[in-house]
Chains A and B, each alone.
Chain A
Amino acid sequence: MSDTIELAVTRYRPEQDTQPWEQRYTVPCSDDMSVLDALNYIKDALDPSLSHRWSCRMAICGSCGVMVNGEPKLSCKTFLRDYREAGVLEVRALDNLPVERDLVADISGVVEHIEAVKPWLIRHSEPPVDTAHSQTPAQMARYHAFSQCINCALCYAACPQFGRNPAFLGPAALTLAQRYNLDSRDEGSSERMPWLNAEEGVWSCTFVGYCSEVCPKDVDPASAINRGKVASDINYGVNLFRLLRGKGDA
């Protein structure tokens, strides 16, 4: 059991570098050290110029996503002990996103997609705020997993479709739309449907399923998208039906 491990970090400093390059660091390796601990060790003890994002260190804020040996991971929830065999960890910024610097990926596009799907509770009329809507545990269970997304963007780094076309709304945004569509208190699914139906919506997904595999919160975006396809199909059917009956609001 070696007590050090090597990190091969892809560096990129836009003011100095025209190309990304690899820098190797040797860090101590103990059973409870996460990749984030290793990056912070580098920052504090070896090279303060390395930039990476982090905050909560408990897998809930979604800041610390990076590629580790080619897989999208939360660095705070990924442990050096699992790479002892491999000997070296390759760490780089999340795939499929522009890189601002070193391990800092530009997630503004992902956040815009999330914002685009009207991710808030839509009601035709707002009841007075003196009672709660009723919602049974069974009703909550329908959307609960989809409400667990921490916006870490690992699924975007995993999604080949998003890699080809950054306009594709992508796993987390489509899942969030579903989270509200499936909420018994919500009345906005028809307003969200244009987004789901659009070229950049659910139909762009070719169901690779890698998004669900890498998701650190078991959100299962692939199944959300698949359900979106069904909903989108039904919506299409309903609209067609209305059109045929001469109701012009399709």
Chain B
Amino acid sequence: MQGYARAAALCVLGGANAMNQQQADIVIVGGGGAGLRAAIAAAESNPGLDILLLSKVYPMRSHTVAAEGGCAGVIQAHDSLDAHFDDTVAGGDWLCDQDVVDYFVRHATEENLRLEHWGCPWSRKPDGSINVRAFGGMQIERTWFAADKTGFHILHTLFQTSLKYPGIRRCDEYFCTDLLVEDGHCAGLLAIDMRSGEQTLIAASAVILATGGAARVYRYNTNGGIVTGDGMALAYRQGVPLRDMEFVQYHPTGLPGSGILITEAARGEGGVLTNREGYRYLQDYGLGPETPPGQPQNKQMELGPRDRLSQAFWHEEQAGRTVATERGAAVHLDLRHLGEQHIQERLPFIRDLARTYINVDAVHEPIPVRPTAHYTMGGIQTDRHTATCLPGLYAVGECASVGLHGANRLGSNSLAELSVFGRLAGEQAAERAAQGLAVDPQRLRPQAEAQAAEREALRRANGPERLAVLRDEMAGAMEAGIGIFRVPAQMTATVEKIAELKARYQQLGLKDGSHAFNTEWLQAIELGFLLDVAEAMSHAALARQESRGSHQRPEDFPARNDALFLRHSLARQQQGGATEVSWQDVVITRSAPGERHYGGKATGEAGR
């Protein structure tokens, strides 16, 4: 039993209350697409830097791995950067910062090509050139894909490429619990080495948060268990605003029960959605006229934007026209007309997922699907160069709000965001690190020790409340109040519920008092993060008294209100813990707010 003895020895070495100390030029929290791209950019722009990539899972486990459909970038001759710009801004219901969108569309293709040069196996046309597919809300095909495992291939390509830079070292399975702030600058962080349970202080000139989304605040979601909004909460606790948190995207096609995603590419390839009568109901919701099965039209029917599709499901369910399954109401995603060969070539993972998790072969039967929480458009407020208002702290990827997605993200823009802004974050942090602004770790020690003591207290907490119960109550409350449609009484109830849960969280009791890989302890810390994120989301949702993009209030504020709310919301945690919501103007350069046109109306109007 040699294997067991080695672990025991490690723990004895670890001891209980020791605190390790490390220093780096840049520390990046998160080994997903955004964090890895930032690390590579920092190493390329300054090979002399000591770059520490820290992640609570091995980088290739990060949830970027689950992205299926594709990654945007203009490449066809008849496409244009303006068209990508227009689709993104209209898709975001004009809440995007247009200078940011402009930068994004100008750099997305270059980043996709760079991934190609690093080995990413983008799907090809027979002549060997890059192939692109249609995606919801995009008027021209510009979604690069690697079969239906695009995120998997991007993540592994980035991880493997990162290995060739000697400047990048890693702390795998280190869990960041706190940011350290000295003299108004972010000067490092505190993390738990999960293997031993030891706390580690890491001092750095620059910290980049790349911790991903937060859809685990919802009960039914497409996210992995690790997607718990950690970075958002870490920043929020330091007084950094969380921006546009009310905008949460429901993906229209998740598997009922588990929420596992069936990619939009299934519709891009020609799949259709039908209700219990076999009727393609989307034509009743302003997305028609009906397109022939297998011949999808950009921005029409099944290729309308996600918010509209999820809302249409909700109405169908109210009208009793959904299909009843063992795992709740659903509609049918029908791929049968595509034929086995096409499905196997373009959507092999989807076929495998449907077979494995609900015992449906998409070649012979329609797949039952329903909307599930998917993506957080909002996040840590940054400027257009990924810097937060706390000097030394940068944020990038799904945890950040750089201003790209507005009120609704278009599918395939977020993978491209990881590269475009990940690179920028790495370069910005490298520039700062070159100025050598690091704080002596010794000076950070007192606050690190105070925070470490709090974490230790949580590990030994023996109150009456149970972790799983609080987590489920939170997820249920968010689903009820801050879901696809938001009604006033439910929203208020959710705000109150989250406050109640935060109080009960102080009474938590944990059963496992140990140090080594104590996942109960880590989950308890994650629940603390989730509750902060849920709080910011629900307060921002209540404050936004209009309907825009994914934020819909059909009962009290059914229309968009540009006069009052063509602004970003900023949720801030005040000193005493209360949440305050304020507003920030949207940057508008060349596209004046208009109506979003989909279905037949979109044709010829370039989405304006």
What is A's interface to B at a CB cutoff of 8 Å? 12-16, 18-20, 31-32, 43-45, 47-49, 51-63, 77, 97-102, 104, 106-108, 111, 115, 118-121, 123, 126-127, 129-137, 139-140, 143-144, 147-148, 150-151, 176, 180, 183, 185-186
Contact = CB atoms under 8 A, between A and B. Distances in A.
Contact of B60 (A61, A147, A148): A61
Contacts of B110: 129-130
Nearest to A131: B113
B510 A16 contact: no
Contact of A19 (B4, B62, B119, B121): B4
B149 A55 contact: no
A32 B358 contact: yes
Interface stretch (B86-94, B126-134, B371-379, B404-412): B126-134
Q: Which interface residue of B110, B128, B257, B520 has the most chain A CB atoms within 10 A?
A: B128
A99 B3 contact: yes
Nearest to A134: B128
B520 A55 contact: no
B516 A32 contact: no
B122 interface: yes
**Per DSSP, are chain A's interface residues mostly helix, strand or loop, or mixed?**
loop
Contact of B224 (A55, A180, A183): A55
A14 B511 CA distance: 16
B461 to A, nearest CB: 12
Given A57-B258, A132-B113, A147-B153, A12 B4 contact: yes
Contacts of B225: 54-57
Given A14-B10, A56-B63, A132-B130, A120 B172 contact: no
B116 A132 contact: yes
Contact of A49 (B224, B326, B511): B511
B11 A144 contact: no
Interface in B89-127: 110, 113-114, 116-119, 121-122, 124, 126-127
Contacts, number: 184
Nearest to B118: A121
A143 B260 CA distance: 28
B142 interface: no
Contact of A150 (B4, B60, B124, B327): B60
Given A132-B113, A136-B127, A32 B515 contact: no
Given A140-B121, A140-B124, A48 B512 contact: yes
Nearest to B469: A44
A61 B65 CA distance: 6
Contacts of B83: none
A100 B327 CA distance: 36
Contacts of A148: 149
A57 B260 contact: yes
16 contacts: A16-B514, A32-B326, A32-B358, A52-B519, A57-B225, A61-B63, A98-B6, A99-B7, A108-B172, A118-B163, A126-B117, A130-B110, A137-B124, A150-B60, A151-B60, A186-B119
A99 B122 CA distance: 37
Contacts of A63: 57, 61
B578 interface: no
Q: Which interface residue of A20, A100, A115 has the most chain B CB atoms within 10 A?
A: A100
A133 B112 CA distance: 12
B8 interface: yes
B128 A100 contact: no
A48 B511 contact: yes
A13 B8 CA distance: 8
B127 A101 contact: no
Contacts of B358: 32
B516 A14 contact: yes
B124 A98 contact: no
Interface in B264-307: none
Contacts of B602: none
A194 to B, nearest CB: 17
Nearest to B356: A77
A223 to B, nearest CB: 18
Given A12-B7, A108-B172, A101 B517 contact: yes
Contact of B114 (A77, A101, A129): A129
B58 interface: yes
A134 B1 contact: no
Contact of B517 (A43, A62, A100): A100
A49 B4 CA distance: 18
Contacts of A120: 118-119, 160-161, 163-164
A121 to B, nearest CB: 4
Contacts of B11: 14-15
Given A14-B516, A19-B4, A51-B517, A107 B113 contact: no
The 6 closest A-B pairs by CB, nearest first: A134-B128, A55-B224, A49-B512, A121-B119, A44-B468, A98-B3
Nearest to B153: A147
B375 to A, nearest CB: 15
A108 to B, nearest CB: 7
Contacts of A54: 225
Contacts of A51: 517-519
Nearest to B113: A129
Given A14-B516, A98-B7, A115 B163 contact: yes
B2 interface: yes
Nearest to B151: A60
B152 interface: yes
Contacts of B161: 120-121
Nearest to A126: B117
Contacts of A20: 1, 4
A186 B118 CA distance: 10
Nearest to A147: B121
Contacts of A60: 65-66, 149, 152, 349
Given A15-B516, A108-B172, 5 more contacts: A32-B257, A48-B468, A48-B511, A60-B349, A121-B119
Contacts of B4: 12, 14, 19-20, 98-99
